Homo-oligomer: A and B are copies of this chain.
Amino acid sequence: MRKVRATVEYDGTAYQGFQVQVNRPTIQGALEKALQSVTAESIRITSAGRTDAGVHARGQVVHFTTAWPHSLEVLERAWNALLPHDIAVRDLQQVSEDFHARFSASSREYRYTIYVGAVRSPLLARISHYHAEPLDVDAMSEAALALEGEHDFAAFGRAPWGDNTVRVVHRAQFQRQTEPLTGGELLFFDIEANAFLRRMVRLIVGTLLLVGKGTLSPAAFQEILLAGNLNHPIAAVVPAGLCLMRVNYNQR
């Protein structure tokens, strides 16, 4: 038996999230079904993070244990051949017995994409939140700065297990990209933390949008963070805009 890690990319549009559910399409379910067909083993896959329904990933990480006797290149090719077109695995590596996709991870990087333009963009709809009116990105960037460092993030989600809602955010910043063809603008919100609460990125982005619209000041955003509860207004943001970009590990 050997322990293997793999990087997974997926378009989450058609799935009910990562975690396996009976009779519903999930990323984990599709990965396990294809892997079991290839190996003829009953294999359970563990991921770095359970993304919600409709959320995408470019760099999800999973691990599993297998008796596969051939090379990992062959396993990768056979696995990809049986996976649906909206899921792919890459960079299969044998890892030590103490590697764990979730618990060994030192940080996760998410990107949330917002498209701002007079008219919605059909070619960006699967991967972004659409906002019609101009946003005050400077105010949003200022507010986002308050997220950096160690804080109790109870204002932006619930703990996935236990009660601890303290997290360390290493980076929370916006990048802007003009779309010359439409006159619109893409906003990328990149956030890296040691770990995330449930729905944390989408709750943060929903609240930052209120700052961008002028409904909340950056100072009021910081007060919400410090108050540490979910009793504050949040605009809904669609899962399509969210993507798990990368999971980082100190060890291999």
- Residues on A close to B: CB < 8 A? 9-11, 56, 58-59, 76, 80, 85-90, 118-123, 125-127, 181-182, 243, 245-246
State the Cβ distance, A186 to closest chain B Cβ, in Å: 13
Nearest chain B CB to A72 CB, angstrom units = 13
In Å, the complex CA distance between A227 and B240 comes to 48
Question: Which B-chain residue is minimally distant from A123 (CB atoms)?
Answer: B11
Are A181 and B123 in contact, with the CB atoms below 8 A? no
A89 to B121, CA, bound (A): 9
Q: Which residue of B lies closest to A59 (CB)?
A: B181
Contact, CB under 8 Å: B121 / A88? yes
A88 in contact with B11 (CB, 8 Å): no
**Judging by beta carbons under 8 Å apart, are B76 and A90 in contact?**
no
* Interfacial chain B residues near A122, Cβ < 8 Å: 9-11, 85-88
Asked whether, in the complex, the Cβ of A90 is within 8 Å of the Cβ of B125, the reply is no
Closest chain B residue to A92, Cβ basis: B119
Q: A87 — nearest CB in chain B belongs to which residue?
A: B122
In the complex, A87 Cα to B125 Cα: how many Å? 10
Given A90-B182, A182-B90, A11-B125 contact (CB < 8 Å): yes
List residues of chain B with CB within 8 A of the CB of A120. Answer: 80, 85, 88
Cα–Cα distance between A122 and B8 once the two chains are bound (Å): 10
Which 3 A-B residue pairings sit nearest by Cβ, starting from the closest? Answer: A90-B119, A86-B122, A11-B122
